[in-house]
Amino acid sequence: MTDQQAGLRGWAAARKGALSTLRFTSLRLRLVVVFGLVALTAAVSASGIAYWLNREAVLTRTQDAVLRDFEQEMKNRAGALPARPTQDELQRTAGQMASSSQRFSVLLVAEDASGKAVYGSSGGLNDGFALADVPKSLRTAVNKRQPLTSNNKSPYHLYWQRIVDDGTPYLVAGTRVIGGGPTGYMVKSLEPEAKDLNSLAWSLGIATGLALIGSALLAQAAATTVLKPVHRLGVAARRLGEGELDTRLRVSGTDELADLSRTFNKAAEALEKRVADMAARDEASRRFVADMSHELRTPLTAITAVTEVLEEELDSESGGLDPMIEPAVRLVVSETRRLNDLVENLMEVTRFDAGTARLVLDDVDVADQITACIDARAWLDAVELDAERGIHARLDPRRLDVILANLIGNALKHGGSPVRVAVREEDSEVVIQVRDHGPGIPEDVLPHVFDRFYKASASRPRSEGSGLGLSIALENAHIHGGDITAANSPEGGAVFTLRLPRDASDMVRAAEEKRSEKKGDS
């Protein structure tokens, strides 16, 4: 692998990790989002309320000051005008009123001596403050005479309205002089107040953004505080699942996460104790089987020697045995052989369970190995071999012979001859198929054919074996790094497929390293 490829792979792994951290199912992201939404809601609500209150306060304060000043000017200056003023008098008075402290524009409307409407304006808006600039509804309200009551002492009142012209807000107000006199209108630009309110809105928006950022940082800190113990718990759980039963968590605090860590430690301790007890019982069982198998071999050797003598007497032409006991002798010979096979199989199983089974590799011709296995057991007439010579593999010849003997022997017992053995090469594997022409394997039996001491149903003849042959064959395949599968052929009969690597040296090295690690741990 080049440095560039390694860098690309590292970048892809980092990107994948970042995306997995940011996925919405991530607790960290959900905490940040929730904190952010809460902070955003609170900040927007507070900013909106603050803006509305300040807006009303600013506008109300300005509006009250302007209206109060306008009303005072109307009383003092417009009220001093004659009932029928001239236009010059209106114009001069409007200018004087506009020069007040609030600096608003004034329009005065009255009738001269001839009954003609005259106007006096101090300017304002764009091209001068005219009557057309006053909303019609406001003019109507100003000129409407109100009935006098105990609560209403004046027939005319001051009315005001806010308008917008060319994007600029204005305050427009109007009233009439009580007791007769001109009608006055006032317009005041609210642009300074609008700018102040815009500045306030920007300030509140910036404050909202800062609050959102602060809440995100706070959520990140809170998530880190919460998720660190959760992450440690996850790592500990993975280690426990990988078999490191001595894994424990460091507990600090009295919160819920600390209680969870204590519960985990108690569960891990109980699991370690139970597994240790089970391992001890399993080890005792294996030792018992191994010891019993070993102890049985000594008397079995003597029994085997006697049965061989009896078998020779059975086969001799002199007929040295009484015909009445001949069936019993044959049964003893048969059961002794079966017992011998069972003891050997038990010892082999014990070696697999204890992990002491080892491979002794050699270069073998697979076709020659199969031929030797068939010839040694006198199966030449019952087995058809479809294998080309020259297919070599580095395997353990003895264990390969055990696999083949069990598969072919099982096919002959349960399927009957002819049994066909085919060999082919696939990539770095050697594939050996053993097919019989019997009734096949029932579907409910297929998942259990490699189980120890399992025997087929009544659809097949009762086996005289121990029920360990196929299990031992599978273990021998596994120790090579291979496998065996069982199935039924569409053409009838059972098919066992053995797959072995062309070179099992990697399995030998891996087994040696595992044994070295165990020695180091012990």
Does 502 lie in the same domain as 436? yes
Cα 29 off chain centre by: 13
Token couple for 513: 């390293």
> H/E element holding 440?
none
Whether 5 is in a domain gets the answer no
495 and 486 in contact (C-beta within 8 Å)?
Answer: yes
Which CATH number goes with the domain that contains 336? 1.10.287
3-state SS record for 134-199? CCHHHHHHHHCCCCCCCCCCCCCCCEEEEEEECCEEEEEEEEECCCCCCEEEEEEECHHHHHHHHH
34 and 149 belong to one structural domain:
yes
Tokens standing for residue 501: 């690597």
pLDDT the model gives residue 24: 47
Residues 351 and 395 in one domain: no
Average pLDDT over residues 13-30: 54
Q: Has residue 363 been placed in a domain?
A: yes
Is 207 inside any structural domain? no
Residue with tokens 């109060």, as numbered in its chain: 68
Q: Kindly report the average pLDDT of the chain as a whole number.
A: 79
**Vertex 382 angle, CA 380 and 387, to 5°:** 65
The residue with greater pLDDT, 342 or 474, is 474
Say whether the peptide bond before residue 418 is cis (omega within 30 degrees of 0): yes
In this predicted structure, what is the pLDDT of residue 318?
A: 58
SS3 state at 352:
helix
Residues 340 and 364 placed together within one structural domain of the fold:
no
Q: Do 302 and 369 share a domain, yes or no?
A: no
Residues 102 and 186 in one domain: yes
Average pLDDT in the 293-321 region? 71
Domain boundary pick from 337, 357, 377: 357
- What residues make up the domain containing 413? 358-456+466-520
Q: Identify the CATH number of the domain in which residue 430 sits.
A: 3.30.565.10
Same domain, 380 and 513: yes
User: Rounded to the nearest 10 degrees, what angle do helices 397-414 and 469-479 cross at?
Assistant: 150
In angstroms, rounded to a whole number, what is the distance separating the alpha carbons of residues 347 and 468?
A: 11
Q: Is 376 exposed, middle or buried (0-12, 13-18, 19+ CB in 10 A)?
A: exposed
pLDDT value for 14: 52
Q: Is 322 in the same domain as 365?
A: no
Q: What is the mean pLDDT of residues 12-18?
A: 51
Same domain, 321 and 439: no
Q: What is the band of 290 on the pLDDT scale with cuts at 50, 70, 90?
A: low
Give pLDDT tens digits for 80-119. Answer: 888 788 888 888 888 888 887 778 888 888 888 787 888 8
Residue type for position 123: G
Taking residues 358-369, report their average pLDDT. Answer: 89
431 forms beta bridges with 424, 499
Is 363 found in the same domain as 321?
Answer: no
Residue 126 belongs to some domain of the structure:
yes
For the segment 477-508, what is each residue's pLDDT rounded down to a tens digit?
998 899 999 999 888 889 999 999 998 888 87
443 neighbors 487 (Cβ within 8 angstroms): no
Domain boundary pick from 357, 376, 395: 357
> Which of 89, 93, 122 has its CA nearest to residue 106?
122
Residue 499 lies in a domain: yes
pLDDT above 90: percentage of residues in the chain: 9
Where is the domain boundary, 169, 200, 231? 200
pLDDT value of position 499:
93
Give the DSSP H/E element, type plus range, for residue 423. Answer: strand 419-426
Residue 166 and residue 93 share a domain: yes
- Parallel, antiparallel, or unpaired: how do β-strands 159-165 and 117-121 relate? unpaired
Return the pLDDT at 431: 93
Domain match, 396 and 498 both = yes
For residues 486 and 496, what is the distance between their CA atoms, to the nearest angstrom?
A: 5
d(C-alpha 12, C-alpha 6), whole Å: 10
Average pLDDT for 442-460: 73
Which CATH number fits the domain that encloses residue 128? 3.30.450.20
Asked if residue 386 is part of any domain, the answer here is yes
Q: Is residue 451 part of a domain?
A: yes
Res. 61: pLDDT tops 60? yes
- State yes or no: pLDDT of 186 exceeds 50: yes
The count of structural domains within the chain is: 3
Burial 152-174 (b: 16+ CB within 10 A, else e): eeeebebbbeebeeeeebbbbbb
**pLDDT tens digits, 212-224:** 787 777 777 777 7
On whether residue 209 sits in a domain, the answer given is: no
